[in-house]
């Protein structure tokens, strides 16, 4: 294109001056002229506000009406005390909310608990006052809370979003006041490969939300999270709390202690996640605490312990009498497979590896290391494939291939090059892995390495249920805070097991244990027999196949249990059985709560098989309300009877921020550039481009 002189220079200059004036006007408005601001007289700071220079650690701030001044949001610190007796863990989680501002505040905090936790108590403390929470149907509890909030009364509400995600809402926190919330729950510790383990999650990791955003006019979103509700995740806004950028420091400190009474002489006791202090007691108990007073809520706390040599339990059996019914908890160890030959049939192994943005940082390193360790365990009789996924799905081979030098080299090179970025489109990856035809001549196994940070768990469970066939699905949770609800439930539907790898140092140990399970015969066709057991309520109702080192765990409720119970199964083709006496079993509190939690989980599984919503809801409430349990359809609410907030004072809502899980790269996860750019700078660049576009348009008009 040839440019020539215009005979309308005055018009062009006039338009140019307008664009320049507009640009600098907006530039100044966006804070881009520090010299002009410096010349202006500094206004007196508004009462109750802070400047950025006053903030020494991570903190949630809201803009005030004055430039450079911010209103501090409520702060949170958490204390966790867990008492473990045998296999039962009882925990009290204390959340202390402080309102440092000058306005009355409502705090909303989305937080995790163990996916098997049975939450049954809520207490709200204000000074010396203690208000006990009441269990109600979820909608009713929400109405009670909202009415108390409008009336200026202090109130708290605990709701379940997923089996491992909860929300605490606290209304009418007075300026510079403190409200303490106590949440109490119970769970059983896990036993696997000769070791007991306890895990306390501390952070809800950012979840990938698939689907189309659903916005209804005059109807607000379900929650205050980062994501919009979608057609595939209708409660996305309730499970995606905002997170603090790591560069601004960590928030939400947590202190934690465990009183451990294992019931047998202890051997190894350690935490792979946090430095701990261990103080032995004279009666064999151990008091465990964090080495530091408090730690950031950015990773799961893990504690493992093993019996002393020769002390491995074979049978754990407890009973409880409660309201005319008898409850029993059984944990039975099947025969060990140490020294036995691996299973005879060849295997078809499909590896699925998550390379989405949430896996960036240390998580992708752990996943690559785990996969590179798993591949050489295959034999020349096996076939395999590797499928990676983020926003798209990429399979190494079109179909599973035999294990040869060439295919193994190709696989190793493929894994070495994996990098984390993009979305988490898990559904098509699972579909790809489960589409191969059934093969009776092979043991078909799918090994899924992921952090599980998705919001569409329900449709993934349904896919596994429909497409699994004869295969077994094994999930490997990667990272400091995986979505354990998805990982454990997916492996349960997949008739496999769940393994968690929290750091790179655990890769070899955890993958060796997993492959011992994969390579050895399972205990199959397991069933319980005993007089009258046909009318008992057992969970799980059908005991799944078991792999090496796993116990049989059953919760039973019956009006009158038989004197003995026989557990039968097959080890390969060999019959196996053990008979247990129930008459001499010790009594233990909390078994009714454990049974109720298992029944609710079983009922919620039926939701995925098409049960009527109203029938399911009532069935869950019939269990949750008598046992005082929080569920998808029931919540705990506590209300102080005395109004404290003057009704002429406004109430400011605050959604509490969380930390990113340790090791995650926020930029890669969200698809942002490696160097952050503020909204003001982006606005300036946009205005600059607009000005340039205007100039070019004017030049085109004056071209000859």
What would the pLDDT profile of 346-386 be if each residue is shown by its tens digit? 889 999 999 999 898 888 988 999 999 899 989 999 999 99
Distance from chain centroid for Cα 234:
17
What is the pLDDT confidence band of residue 38, given thresholds at 50, 70 and 90?
Answer: very low
Q: Which of 655, 661, 656, 657 is nearest to 203 (CA)?
A: 661
Residue 113's pLDDT is what? 94
Nearest-angstrom CA–CA distance, 523 and 121: 38
Strands 401-402 and 383-389: antiparallel
User: Is residue 675 reached through a cis peptide bond, with omega within 30 degrees of 0 on the bond before it?
Assistant: no
Directed axis angle between helix 405-416 and helix 362-374, to 10°? 170
Q: Does an H or E element contain 513, and which?
A: helix 507-519
Cα angle for residues 122, 125, 130 (degrees, 5° grid): 80
Total residues belonging to the chain: 704
Q: What is the pLDDT of residue 342?
A: 55
Residue 58 has pLDDT above 50, yes or no: no
Q: CA 685, CA 673: separation in Å to the nearest integer?
A: 16
Q: Does a cis peptide bond (omega within 30 degrees of 0) precede residue 374?
A: no
Kindly state the tokens that stand for 19. 């664009």
SS3 (DSSP) at 188: strand
Q: Which residues contact 479 (CB under 8 A, 6 or more apart)?
A: 205, 359, 362, 363, 366, 451, 502, 661, 663, 664
Which residues belong to CATH 3.40.50.410 in the chain? 347-519
Count of alpha carbons within 13 angstroms of residue 541, beta-carbon side: 11
- Ranking 8-12, 103-107, 560-564, 583-587 by mean pLDDT, the lowest is 8-12
What is the number of H-type helices and E-type strands within the chain?
A: 13, 37
| pLDDT for position 547 | 79
Q: Which residues lie across from 454 on neighbouring strands?
A: 208
As its CATH architecture, domain 71-201+238-308+637-655 has Sandwich (2.60)
Confidence of residue 531 (pLDDT cuts 50, 70, 90): confident
Widest CA span of the chain, in angstroms?
108
Mean pLDDT of the chain: 82
pLDDT band at 698 (very low <50, low <70, confident <90, very high): low
- 672: pLDDT strictly greater than 50: no
- Span 182-208, mean pLDDT? 91
Tens of pLDDT, residue by residue over 388-408, are 999 999 999 999 999 999 999
Closest CA to 103 of 51, 64, 144, 161: 64
At 583 the pLDDT is 77
| Average pLDDT of the residues in 469-489 | 90
- Does the pLDDT at position 608 exceed 70? no
* 583 closest CA partner among 560, 554, 552, 556: 560
Paired sense of beta strands 153-162 and 634-643, if any = antiparallel
Angle at 200 (CA atoms; ends 195, 204), nearest 5 degrees = 135
- Tokens 């208000």 correspond to 131
Q: DSSP character for 43?
A: P
pLDDT tens-digit series, residues 67-88: 666 656 577 899 999 999 888 9
pLDDT for 3 beyond 70: no
Give the contacts of 584 (CB within 8 A, at least 6 positions apart). Answer: none
Tell whether the model's pLDDT for residue 701 goes beyond 90.
Answer: no
Q: Please tell me the distance from the alpha carbon of residue 175 to that of residue 197, in angstroms, as a whole number.
A: 42
Q: Which pLDDT value is given to residue 243? A: 86
Q: Are 439 and 399 in contact (CB under 8 A)?
A: no
Q: Which residues contact 650 (CB under 8 A, 6 or more apart)?
A: 103, 104
DSSP alpha helices (H): ranges in 543-670? Answer: 591-607, 613-624, 666-670
Q: What is the DSSP letter of 587?
A: B
Higher pLDDT, 609 or 223: 223
Stretch among 55-64, 521-530, 647-656, 660-669 having the lowest mean pLDDT:
55-64
Indicate the pairing of strand 472-478 with strand 498-501: parallel
- Cross-strand bridge partners of residue 444: 348
For residue 504 the two structure tokens come to 């790179």
Q: Give all strands (DSSP E) within 174-220, no chain letters.
A: 178-188, 190-192, 195-200
Q: Which residue has the higher pLDDT, 695 or 320?
A: 320
Residue with tokens 């995986």: 482
Pick the CATH number of 347-519 from 1.10.1740.10, 3.40.50.410, 1.20.120.530, 3.40.50.10860: 3.40.50.410
Q: What is the mean pLDDT of residues 157-183?
A: 93
Task: Provide the CA 424 distance to its chain's centre, in angstroms.
Answer: 15
For residue 236, pLDDT beyond 70: yes
How far apart (Å, rounded) are the C-alpha atoms in residues 479 and 511?
Answer: 15
Q: Which residues of 8-18 are buried (b: 16+ CB within 10 A; e: fewer)?
A: eeeeeeebeee
pLDDT in tens, 120-159: 999 999 888 899 999 999 999 999 999 999 999 999 999 9
Q: What is the mean pLDDT of residues 549-563?
A: 85
Give the model's pLDDT for residue 246. 81
Whether residue 187 has pLDDT greater than 80: yes
The CATH 2.60.40 domain(s) of the chain lie at: 71-201+238-308+637-655
CB atoms within 10 A of CB 102: 15
CB 97 within 8 A of CB 173: yes
Which among 570, 571, 631 is positioned nearest to 599, based on CA atoms? Answer: 631
Percent residues over pLDDT 90 in the chain: 43
Q: Contact 472/495 with Cβ under 8 angstroms?
A: yes
448 Cβ neighbours under 8 A, 6+ residues apart: 352, 430, 433, 473, 474, 475, 476, 490
Indicate the DSSP class of residue 563.
S
How far is Cα of residue 489 from the mean position of the Cα atoms in its chain? 12
- What is the CB neighbour count within 10 angstroms for residue 431? 12
Structural tokens at position 384: 């395999």
Number of C-beta neighbours around residue 518 at 10 A: 22
- Contact by Cβ (8 Å): 226, 242: yes
The span from the CA of 10 to the CA of 702, in Å, is 11
Q: What is the pLDDT of residue 691?
A: 59
Q: What is the spatial distance between Cα 189 and Cα 23, in angstroms, rounded to a whole number?
A: 63
User: Degrees (nearest 5) of the Cα angle 557, 333, 258?
Assistant: 75
Specify the pairing of strand 574-581 against strand 75-85. unpaired
Please tell me the predicted confidence (pLDDT) of residue 677.
Answer: 36
Cα(472)–Cα(438) distance, rounded to whole angstroms? Answer: 12
Q: What is the spatial distance between Cα 600 and Cα 622, in angstroms, rounded to a whole number?
A: 10
Least confident of 52-56, 252-256, 334-338: 52-56
In which band, very low, low, confident or very high, does the pLDDT at 8 lie, cut at 50, 70 and 90?
very low
Q: Is the pLDDT of residue 282 over 90?
A: no
The answer to whether the beta carbons of residues 150 and 171 sit under 8 Å apart is no
Q: How many CB atoms lie within 10 A of CB 7?
A: 8
**Per-residue model confidence as pLDDT tens digits over 201-234:** 999 988 889 999 888 877 888 888 889 999 999 9
Query: Of 250, 252, 292, which Cα lies nearest the Cα of 78?
Result: 252
> What residue has token string 């008459």?
583
Reference 190, options 182, 198, 179; nearest CA is 198
d(CA 398, CA 387): 10
Helix (H) or strand (E) holding 170: strand 165-173
**Cα separation of 307 and 313, whole Å?**
8
Q: What is the pTM of this model?
A: 0.79
574 CB-contact burial (10 Å; exposed 0-12 / middle 13-18 / buried 19+): exposed
């Amino acid at each position: 294109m040839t440019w020539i002189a215009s005979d309308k220079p005055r018009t062009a200059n006039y338009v140019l001056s307008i664009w320049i004036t507009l640009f600098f006007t907006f530039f100044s408005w966006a804070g881009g002229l520090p010299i002009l601001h410096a010349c202006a007289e500094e206004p007196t700071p508004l009462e109750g506000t802070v400047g950025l220079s006053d903030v020494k650690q991570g903190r949630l701030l809201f803009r005030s009406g004055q430039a450079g001044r911010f209103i501090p949001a409520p702060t949170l610190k958490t204390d966790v005390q867990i008492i473990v007796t045998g296999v039962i863990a009882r925990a009290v989680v204390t959340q202390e909310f402080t309102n440092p501002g000058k306005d009355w505040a409502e705090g909303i905090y989305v937080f995790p608990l163990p996916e098997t936790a049975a939450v049954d108590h809520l207490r709200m403390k204000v000074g010396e006052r203690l208000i006990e929470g009441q269990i109600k149907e979820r909608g009713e509890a929400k109405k009670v809370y909202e009415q108390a909030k409008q009336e200026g009364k202090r109130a708290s509400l605990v709701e379940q979003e997923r089996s491992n995600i909860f929300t605490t809402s606290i209304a009418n926190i007075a300026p510079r006041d403190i409200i303490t919330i106590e949440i109490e729950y119970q769970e059983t510790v896990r036993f696997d490969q000769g070791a007991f383990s306890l895990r306390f999650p501390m952070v809800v990791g950012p979840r990938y939300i698939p689907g189309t955003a659903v916005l209804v006019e005059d109807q607000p979103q379900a929650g205050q999270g980062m994501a919009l509700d979608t057609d595939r995740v209708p409660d996305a806004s309730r499970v995606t709390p905002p997170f603090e950028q790591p560069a601004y420091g960590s928030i939400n400190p947590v202190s934690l202690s465990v009183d451990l009474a294992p019931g047998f002489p202890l051997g190894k006791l350690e935490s792979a996640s946090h430095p701990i202090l261990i103080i032995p007691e004279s009666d064999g108990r151990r008091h465990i605490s964090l080495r530091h007073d408090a730690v950031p809520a950015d990773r799961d706390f893990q504690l493992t312990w093993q019996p002393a040599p020769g002390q491995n339990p074979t049978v754990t059996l407890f009973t409880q009498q409660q309201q005319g019914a008898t409850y029993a908890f059984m944990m039975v160890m099947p025969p060990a497979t140490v020294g036995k030959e691996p299973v005879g049939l060849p295997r078809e192994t499909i590896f699925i590896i998550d390379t989405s943005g949430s896996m960036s940082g240390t998580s992708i390193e752990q996943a690559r290391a785990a996969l590179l360790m798993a591949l050489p365990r295959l034999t020349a009789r096996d076939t395999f494939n590797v499928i990676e996924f983020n926003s798209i799905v990429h399979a190494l081979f079109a179909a599973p291939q035999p294990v040869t030098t060439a295919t193994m080299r190709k696989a190793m090179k493929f894994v070495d090059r994996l990098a984390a970025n993009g979305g988490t489109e898990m559904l098509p990856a699972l579909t790809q892995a489960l589409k191969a035809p059934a093969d009776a001549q092979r043991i078909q196994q799918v090994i899924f390495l992921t952090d599980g940070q998705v919001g569409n768990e329900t449709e993934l469970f349904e896919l596994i249920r429909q497409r699994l066939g004869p295969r077994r699905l094994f999930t490997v949770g990667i990272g400091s805070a995986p979505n354990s609800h998805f990982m454990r439930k997916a492996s349960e539907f997949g008739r496999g097991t769940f393994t968690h790898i929290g750091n790179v140092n655990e890769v070899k140990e955890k993958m060796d244990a997993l492959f011992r399970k994969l390579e050895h015969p399972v205990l199959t066709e397991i069933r319980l027999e005993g007089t009258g057991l046909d009318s008992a309520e057992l969970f799980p109702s059908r005991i799944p196949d078991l792999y090496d080192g796993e116990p049989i765990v059953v919760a039973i409720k019956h009006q009158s249990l038989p004197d003995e119970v026989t557990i039968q199964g097959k080890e390969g083709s060999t019959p196996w059985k053990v008979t247990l006496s129930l008459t001499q079993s010790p009594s233990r509190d909390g078994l009714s709560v454990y049974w109720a939690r298992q029944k609710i989980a079983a009922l919620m599984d039926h939701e995925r098989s098409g049960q009527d919503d109203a029938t399911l809801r009532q069935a869950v409430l019939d269990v949750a309300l008598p046992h005082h349990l929080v569920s998808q359809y029931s919540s705990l609410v506590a209300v102080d009877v005395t109004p404290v907030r003057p009704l002429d004072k406004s109430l400011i809502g605050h959604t509490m921020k969380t930390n990113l899980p340790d090791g995650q790269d926020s930029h890669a996860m969200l698809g942002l550039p490696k160097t952050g750019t503020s909204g003001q700078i982006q606005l300036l660049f946009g205005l600059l481009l607009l000005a340039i576009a205007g100039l070019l348009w004017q030049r085109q008009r004056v071209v000859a």
